[in-house]
Structure 1
Amino acid sequence: MKKRLTLLQMDVHVNDVEYNYNRVQELLTQSLTENPDIIVLPETWNTGFHPSDDLITIADRNGGERTKSLLTAFAKEHNVNIIGGSVAVAKDDLVFNTSYAYNREGALVGEYSKMHGFSPAKEDKYFASGTHTTHFELDGIPCSTVICYDIRFPELVRMAALPGTELLFVPAQWPTMRLRHWQVLNEVRAIENQLFLCAVNGCGTIGRVQSTGHSAVYDPWGGTNLLEMDTNEGIASVDIDLTVVEDIRNKINIFRDRKPELYNL
């Protein structure tokens, strides 16, 4: 099975919610010229990565109502799957960093809230933590999502991979100062879990911090990444062949050979 992934690497404007929603709509529309099967957005594209006291005042209210309305309508109208990156979502007095996945009919098929807040930036103080992984299908492909800092936790990614996941999405706002970590961690997670990994990062600046871009798609064999963008805002696509997953799992079956009864984690 072959599918086309279309990555939207966006220069997210911190605190400028109206600009960000308008820009996402523009990028989504532009991406249709790529004939995508699955469109993927970056992390916290509605507010920017903004752990601060005023976050709850600019987060998407009513459990993500505005974001859900936009994504479901676009997916249904254009018969395309969407991984909505993630957005800051207010629920009661808490804010979650939440990703939504929509199928071609515009149905919400996956929802995941980031489990690991990036404590050096005090994300864990301003965002509530999610409590479970997500598993869903897009065009029959078993998928899952983790978000940015989550990729540093192999236990979580393995939990996301265990139910037969073949395609993992990683929306992020990852800084230039740790570009090499971004590249290595994503590639290793793809290799060790024998799946395709689609990592979509932001670009531009967040205060004095530069988001590194370099959105990329990695295959399960880890030879060369199938796609890697530069540091600029833009749209890029790549075709993946999901039969590769079955091939590697037949040749090196780590899921059969693992011994969780021996792991004391």
Structure 2
Amino acid sequence: MPPLRTALLQSSGRPGSVADNLRALDDAAARAAAAGAGLLVCPEMWLTGYAIGDRVPELAEPADGPGATAVAEIAERHGLAVGYGYPERSGARVYNAAQLIDARGERLANYRKTHLFGDFERRWFTPGERPVVQAELDGLRIGLLICYDVEFPENVRAHALAGTDLLLVPTAQMHPFQFVAESLVPVRAFESQMYIAYVNRTGHEGAFEFVGLSCLAGPDGTVRTRAGRGGELVVGEVDRGFLDSSRAANPYLRDRRPELYPTLG
């Protein structure tokens, strides 16, 4: 099985303008496809922007809303899958969500952030209740988390035990927590034997300063590709063969003794 070339779009787009962010996504998808990517991953709240304040209810839409339709058209036009963050409306509730759409424009998975960070998120969003959401793509089992979720080892280990091969983590990582991108994410990939695509926003939005440093980390704990602090599109490979070899050599998951820690929770 050939590696899945995976593009990470590090950008904040234009907060508050869905139309501008869709145009930026279309441009990035064209560049990613030209680089041979089969998957493009965007940051948390990509569709609308993160620091949109009280516009969250106004800009939120259903998982199958017009934004999803537009992303599906972009994915199909450029022949690659797209993972992106957006505010999802479901009845009276709004979730901080991430969705994966394949190269045919089909919606494969929708995940709602389970661990909300800070006053802004807790004011506007309802926490999700499904810790593991997965889909099959190009022979890989793809999982979804969002930003703060990956900082809880239980979340990533739950994905490992459910067989996730590549974990997509749209994020809005801000100063001064850049150690998460620099150190924690590669360690998570190593200890749970998977690839992690951690894709951040960049620059200033309102009171937030996003640190960039998006990365694709491998199951050996090394970073396959890393963005800097500004807007950037970087590409790395998710290699099924290397993942299988790494899992065979690394005993963490085999050597667990869950009977010793049944009260974790």
TM more than 0.5: yes
Using the TM superposition, give the Cα deviation of residue 40 of structure 1 relative to its aligned residue in structure 2, in angstroms: 0.8
Identity among equivalent positions (%) equals 28
TM alignment of 1:1-265, pairs within 5 A: 1=1, 2-50=3-51, 52-59=53-60, 61-83=61-83, 85-118=84-117, 120-132=118-130, 133-222=132-221, 224-263=222-261, 264-265=263-264
Q: What letter is aligned with 1:199?
A: Y
Kept in 2, the 8 Å contact 1:116–1:124? The answer is no
Kept in 1, the 8 Å contact 2:113–2:127? The answer is yes
Q: Distance in 1 between matches of 2:40 and 2:72?
A: 13
Q: Distance in 2 between matches of 1:65 and 1:220?
A: 35
Structural RMSD (CA): 1.7
Q: Distance in 2 between matches of 1:67 and 1:160?
A: 27
Q: What letter is aligned with 2:255?
A: D
Structure 1 residues without counterparts, runs of 5 or longer: none
Q: What letter is aligned with 1:182?
A: A
Q: Relative to 1, partners in 2 of residues 1:76 and 1:19: Cα closer, same or farther, differing over 3 Å?
A: closer
Q: Relative to 1, partners in 2 of residues 1:122 and 1:103: Cα closer, same or farther, differing over 3 Å?
A: same
Q: What letter is aligned with 2:50?
A: F
TM-score, normalised to structure 1, is: 0.92
- Which 4+ runs in 1 deviate beyond 6 A? none
Kept in 2, the 8 Å contact 1:12–1:204? The answer is no
TM-score, normalised to structure 2, is: 0.92
Q: Distance in 2 between matches of 1:236 and 1:252?
A: 28
Aligned residues: 261
Kept in 1, the 8 Å contact 2:143–2:164? The answer is yes
Q: Distance in 2 between matches of 1:74 and 1:99?
A: 16
| Local SS of the residue matching 2:65 | helix
Using the TM superposition, give the Cα deviation of residue 37 of structure 1 relative to its aligned residue in structure 2, in angstroms: 1.2
Kept in 2, the 8 Å contact 1:20–1:45? The answer is yes
Q: Distance in 2 between matches of 1:51 and 1:15?
A: 6
Q: Distance in 1 between matches of 2:111 and 2:187?
A: 22
Structure 2 residues without counterparts, runs of 5 or longer: none
Q: Distance in 2 between matches of 1:146 and 1:226?
A: 20
Q: What letter is aligned with 2:125?
A: F
Q: Distance in 1 between matches of 2:173 and 2:62?
A: 28
Q: Could you list the per-position Cα deviations for residues 79-118 of structure 1 after superposition, in whole angstroms to 9, with x for gaps in the alignment?
A: 21222x2101222221111111122222211111110110
| Local SS of the residue matching 2:176 | helix
Q: Distance in 1 between matches of 2:28 and 2:127?
A: 29
